[in-house]
Amino acid sequence: MTVIAALASLTVPAWRALHRAGSSKAATSLVMDSLERARGEAITKKRDVWLLFRHSVGSGRDSLRIVSRGEEGYVPLGAWVTLPAGITFHDEPGTLMDERPAGDLLAAACKNTDPSDKEVFGSVMFRRSGGIGIPAQGGNRLCIGMDSRSKGAVTTINLARASGRADTAASP
């Protein structure tokens, strides 16, 4: 019984570390896929498309949503997609989290709910060419960071302004 207890005490921390790494990778994949989906939508539909980032301060349940500009206004493309538990958008000044969406865009994205004062929104807009339209040239840095509370690391996703393509970088 003692041997089993000793083995279990060694296994649990390793399992938690593996789970945290998996959550971080899942969040990165989710954001990268959403960026590519928004970019692809802009190119194929020949209309401006936004990806909105919602940081819910204190809740640890951040999310994102794609919104397209149609002929009759802004149209959300699907529901808000929530990041894995414990992963939040890094609310760093001068990044895409500092790029607050326009009021009518935010209203369309938050249909049926009012944003609370504990929510911070960021955004990026893809032009019909697939390149970045907002933030405009010389604006905020084209990156979004994600914090892992349990891991203590920030994963940064960077965007190329001309192509709208994304890549990642991890920092300790």
- Partner residues linked to 73 by β-bridges: 70
Q: What is the pLDDT of residues 6-16, one digit of tens each?
A: 545 555 454 34
Third-level CATH fold of 2-171: minor pseudopilin epsh fold (3.55.40)
Per-residue confidence (pLDDT) for residue 151, from 0 to 100: 56
**117-143 confidence digits (pLDDT tens):** 789 999 999 999 999 999 988 778 899
Q: How many CB atoms lie within 10 A of CB 89?
A: 25
Q: 26 CB contacts (<8 Å, ≥6 apart)? A: 84
Average pLDDT over the chain, rounded to an integer: 84
First-to-final CA distance of the chain: 39
With a threshold of 0.75, does the pTM exceed it? yes
Q: Where is average pLDDT lowest: 9-13, 15-19, 61-65, 167-171?
A: 15-19
Map out the domains of the chain as residue ranges: 2-171
5-50: per-residue pLDDT in tens? 554 555 545 434 434 456 788 999 999 999 999 999 999 999 999 9
The whole-angstrom separation of Cα 70 and Cα 45 is 10
Supply the pLDDT for residue 70. 86
